[in-house]
Amino acid sequence: MDVELFQKILVQAITQLALFTLIPFLWWFFTERKNGTRPFFDWVGLKKVRLKGTGKFLALGILAYSLVMVLTLSLAGGQLPGWPNLRGLGPGGLAVLLVYALVTTGLSEEIFFRGFLLKRFIDKDEFDVANVSQAMLFGLFSAVLFFGAMTFWRALFLSALYGVLAFGLGWVNEKKGGGSLLLSWFIRSLAGLLVGLGMMSGIL
């Protein structure tokens, strides 16, 4: 295993998780906490979810996210923008992949976009408007990575696709998961692991 790369990815994951959690926490601390109605983790959606009836949505979400990641890989010249280079790492790179897929791109982004932004938008607007708003912001967030790695039109196209995926993740969480982030976190993490393993093995 490339220890130096793993340490770098671990520090990056912890830093991003802390940053993406700090803003929601401060918001909760100075607003919701005063009312004493919901603890922080429940407020952002880190709570239990009933999996009954969600199987087909999880499978569809994993498939859709994986396919868009593979398309991204193709349009970006064989490397996922913002991801570590997993090619040639072999089995030892699994630790790097796990940290990146589960924490860096999975947990931290879900806490901020579907846990914090979407739920705060829902407090102010009807669900569809709120979900479109967070999806657009997630698309713009993705665009920051894409515009430096490919042509403008490819980046714009992919940003729109990730926005659509974000809308689907928000819908699954709120309509099928009772507001829990565990569904979207599972979808994104497993999709990232599958595509990452494909890169490590040379299949993708």
Q: What is the CA radius of gyration of the chain?
A: 17
The number of folded domains in the chain is 1
Note whether residue 43 is domain-resident: no
Residue 188 CB neighbours (<10 A): 24
Q: What ranges in the chain are assigned the alpha helix state H?
A: 3-30, 32-35, 40-44, 55-75, 94-99, 108-110, 118-124, 127-146, 152-171, 182-201
- pTM for the predicted model, two decimal places: 0.92
Does the residue 72 lie in any domain?
yes
Predicted local confidence at residue 1, as pLDDT: 57
**Residue 115 belongs to a domain:** yes
Q: What is the mean pLDDT of each run of 10 residues along the chain (204 residues)?
A: 81 94 93 79 91 89 97 92 83 87 94 96 94 96 89 94 97 94 96 94 85
What pLDDT score does 74 carry? Answer: 93
Q: Which domain holds residue 79?
A: 3-34+56-201
